[in-house]
Structure 1
């Protein structure tokens, strides 16, 4: 596979529609608007990603009573005015030595409740609270968890491309030698391949060999991979601004019977989770379907995380496939289905695909073989 051509950028009209949608959603949630600081929401709403995120306040103000306004430090205004959404924005700047919170007060002073980005610095939130003490702030994940959850066709195309690049990376890594090499060396191979197949950003390359595989978020370390190890591979990043995330577990040489048994349990659980996906199904029912298979096989206590998370302009975002999440699935939602079993001190197994909700069920964005691969 060669890296596909970059898609056409989103237009100012697309960003304007997203900002109107955000204002409408805020109103439905009982908010007067939202404040968006640098991070995934700002990228999704404007296409603007500051070259450096510093202590200087940058904030997009979205309220029903004014045009979308991006307040930026004066020295960063030229970059901000180059954003794809620039034609749909009003710009306000402030200079070093000014009080940015006083300027923000002029933009939001009439509000009583506002959503604010999860990624906002505490320094900025505290400054805003001092400037407008009667305004109640709520995190966007708490107030508008589904704001970015449903993807349009252009977003799905980017997620498809990112998934295909991750699949191509897995296909290549199966031909790499594992035995006798450090986890960090295999992780470097994964990162190189992701970039070769089109990723502009690599977010994680988990290589958990042997007992390290029993830690779901193990960072690749200096352990030398040995013959007979089960190795959890979990890798992904951003391609054209949208995420990839896939996991497979391989065996270095012939696997033990226990590794084969656990892997088959996880494979069946992952299949059950994917088959549970359909419009109107509660997120928790995807978790229940996968977890039931693992629990029935006697490994319920060794499945120690949620079954899935949303993906889009970040690799982890709502919706979450977890008990207690009653949000119904909607066509266009994209999320992981990634059950796992982790035997402390021995090994772990995880299988993960990104799935999108369609009218007829769930469609996998990762299509590589989910059987237990044997590598050298």
Structure 2
């Protein structure tokens, strides 16, 4: 297992880190790019990164992807379109037609964003319970139903929709992936306001028609195609939260070195010094787990790693949440104030244990891999 970065990887991460400092190094810069933190994606910044070739370079390997995501998370870069777009691009790369690959992969590396729509009001963790239906006709498919909690749909070029084309809710067979352009008639996108600002959406499909060649992969086999992408999805989320955890840690450390109470910096008190030691150790464990799992994927991209991918998502998101909450506690009222970034770290890490499969679901999957 290669723990140290190669010269090329180090140069890449350093370049992204420098870019983050220039573009989003101050709170004022970040507020200007995100409308005071309400928007997770700034297209101008994202386009610059695409023009530099970084998006294309980042997805050449899974290790490159997680290194890139770690720098995005740490640098607080408002390029929320990247993680979900990378998930969609990977799905199309695995299962799509040559034309779909050309359109989506080319669009992705060129700075376009994509969204994936699975969750419904009655189907979150239970993906097989999807009821949004796409009915085949002579010209393609007609879609009716609702999706909810869909990230990035409000600025995506297209949505990778998982809909039911056969069977009944609860069946694994009968699910199909379809590419739906965001401007398709019959699709209405409605934002959901959350603690994190404008990130997720409701999608309403009313007699929304797409051609037959919108199908990604094989009709009715979407479930198995989704399962093949678990490594990528969970590693992407873990890589992003690793960077966020490290940033929350460094922000906390800087604060407790400067903040004085009882005549000395609060970080010199044993209770905080030991807490910092524990958090630093946990983050380093996550870094090793992320890089190890990414290396396993790079060795054999076709191999599904249900145990490892669930472990890396579970551990990294839970540690990120722990670090941010501890940071808020150590900063006291300042950690809660919007003047500082810590409250944003808390919001970002809290939701990370929910999306992409909750911590409870990850634990259940891990348990099953041990025959339980």
Q: Decide which structure has greater helix share.
A: 2
Larger Rg: 1
TM-score bucket (shorter structure): under 0.3
TM-score normalised over the length of structure 1 = 0.27
TM-score by length of 2: 0.27
